[in-house]
Amino acid sequence: MWSLLSKAAGLAQLAFKPIKYFIDSTFRDKVTPVPGSVVYCDLLLAVEHSGIHVQGGKISNIVVDGFAESTVCLSDAWDFTTQSQWGRKIYVSCDSDGPVGHDAVAERAASHLGERAFYGLVVKNCHQFSTKCVNQVKGTRRDDTSLLDQALSMLPDDTWEPTITALKEAAKKKLGATKWRLWDWENDDANDKPEEEKEPDWDAINQQSRRLPLTPENIAHLRQQLAEAQAYEAEIDDENLPAPIRQRLRVYRKTLNDISDLCEQAKEFLAACPGAGFSYDDLKTGNEDFAALARQIAQNPSIRELVRKMGRQHVAEEFKRQTRLPQASQSEVHGTHRSNDLMRLLPSELVNLEDDTLETLFYARLLEHNLLTYQLSGSTTTTGEATETRSKRTGPVVACLDTSGSMQGEPLLKAKALLLAVAGILKQEDRSLHIVLFGASGQLRTFAMDARNDAAGLLAFLRQGFNGGTDFETPLQHALDLIATQPNCLKADVLMVSDGDCSLSEDFTAKLRARTARLNCRIYSVLCAGKRVQDRFSDEVVVL
């Protein structure tokens, strides 16, 4: 449970909740719940706890009191918020006139007091308990589709706690809850006055949002924040809030909307560069054709084949001859045994989940590590093989990129796609990539992929160029000098990326061949336009 909560908190580093807390605490009226009101508090940035207000400030809610076990208890506001990492704020179901609830909901919540059951973060949780109580109300209070409904419908289904959305929807349909306001319970205790909410740093939040790496998880999170911001704006639309606050909220929402739009525009490119860590600012800085780059990375057969070769984990022929075959594979079924391994569960155990009575038995066996599961045997590597393979990896890749004027357009697009793809595979293997931009004699610029320089830095670096003549000998000499400084590498590769034949003097060619033999490295001549003739120094000529 807590590993999932920690992951959720990590993803939610730019959450909308600090903004919402400030506005709700400072500018909106606070309320006191009535019997049958739905209440919830935030435990972490992306995790909430809910319950039903019964009467007199008492809340019927699920309390976890064992490993995956819970009891329905009656708590006061202080106990209800004990686990919250966001202060002791409790939200109450309301409409435009104030708090809403229903006696039938309060009675159902009270009737479950003392019950014990299995508890899960996603199933059998507090929100499902609260929703079950709310659904006791017959009929609906509201059947119209408001602006708030439309905004709520945009919330993604795969949130960290999807059942909080279901609870809010049930509260709206059954109780008419169109707003969620803070309960002013702390002011009832003169010795425990709540601290004044500090205004968030709006500019910093917007800036952090623009710099967040656009991983699939973070994109989903940002879009969830966008949907919540839109729903919140609809909720407070008829309330008297200061104009500057509304304007800052609109700017924040627009920032998230711009990020979402760019993610949609560049989704194929982001998918083609997994783990690259591009942010909104990284992608927005240049005028890249992301769709064209993505097509080259994913569909150009020459790029895909060359990337495969650059990504090989070379093992010396002597080591290959000495490698023993593994005795068994981890995919071999050896028998059955009892464990909690859900990935290798026997089908006969899953049948219990289809019956409400036997479902508890399934979870009991899970907690006791007593489920029937397949037992596998074997090992995928012989002793020491993994360590030996890591030590025999190839060395760095040094890419020399021609930036003369004739490379502009389609040739440069292909070159960028190739280098981004190569960067991705080398990152997976923890190997280095060096880029050398070259033009006429003496014109060199270098870039090294390391902890400070990632794929976003590479893309920005590739936007530079000289747009002049072409000197091939200087960058090749620089590439070999760089490889010579790398310790303990078995092999390295040089990519000479250009749109024309690489012209070298006879003397330089002879010296180049001798030195590549000593360094045990290979040179690939990569042509981004036209046709390439064979030369006397390349180990392979590739036409993209």
Name the average pLDDT for the chain.
Answer: 82
3-state secondary structure at position 408: coil
Which of the residue ranges 25-34, 122-131, 185-194, 530-539 has the most confident prediction, judged by mean pLDDT? 25-34
Query: Residue 295: pLDDT band by 50, 70, 90 thresholds?
Result: very high
pTM score, two decimals? 0.75
Q: Helices 301-310 and 410-428, interaxial angle, to 10°?
A: 30
Q: Which residue has the higher pLDDT, 376 or 514?
A: 514
Which pairing describes strands 58-66 and 98-99: parallel, antiparallel, or unpaired?
unpaired
Predicted pLDDT of residue 320: 47
- The residue-averaged pLDDT of 291-296 equals 95
Q: Is pLDDT larger for residue 354 or for residue 34?
A: 34
Give the model confidence (pLDDT) of 403-451 as tens digits. 988 888 999 999 999 999 999 998 888 888 999 999 888 889 999 987 6
Per-residue pLDDT at 241: 95
Amino acid at 308: R
Helix (H) or strand (E) holding 64: strand 58-66
Please give the average per-residue pLDDT across 199-215, as a whole number.
93
Give me the amino acid identity at 414: K
Asked if the model's pLDDT at residue 391 lies above 50, the reply is no
Q: How far apart are CA 203 and CA 176, in angstroms?
A: 36
Report the C-alpha gap between 493 and 419 in whole angstroms. 13
Token pair for 165: 């959305």
> Which pLDDT score, from 0 to 100, does residue 92 have?
98
More confident residue, 189 or 487: 487
Pairing outcome for strands 69-75 and 58-66: antiparallel
User: How far is the C-alpha of 371 from the C-alpha of 351, rounded, in Å?
Assistant: 12
pLDDT at 67: 67
Q: What DSSP element (H or E) covers 164?
A: helix 162-175
Query: CB burial class (10 A; 0-12, 13-18, 19+) of residue 222?
Result: buried
Choose between 332 and 527: higher pLDDT. Answer: 527
Helix residue ranges per DSSP H, 300-409: 301-310, 317-322, 347-350, 356-367, 385-391
Angstrom CA distances, 249 to 182, 256, 370, stand at 19, 11, 52
pLDDT in the model for residue 46: 67
Please report which confidence band the pLDDT of residue 260 belongs to, taking 50, 70 and 90 as the band edges: very high
- CA dist., res. 230 & res. 209, Å (int): 16
Range scoring the smallest mean pLDDT among 35-49, 138-152, 248-262: 138-152
> What percent of the chain has pLDDT above 90?
49
The pLDDT value recorded for residue 194 is 55
pLDDT above 80 (res 490) = no
Question: What CA–CA distance (Å, rounded) separates 222 from 35?
Answer: 36
| pLDDT tens string 320-375 | 444 444 444 455 555 677 887 877 777 777 777 767 667 777 777 777 677 888 77
Q: What is the mean pLDDT of residues 12-25?
A: 82
Among 158-162, 278-282, 446-450, the range with the most confident prediction by mean pLDDT is: 278-282
Q: Which tokens in the block code for residue 201?
A: 């740093």
**pLDDT on residue 347:** 74
Give the SS3 label for residue 38.
strand
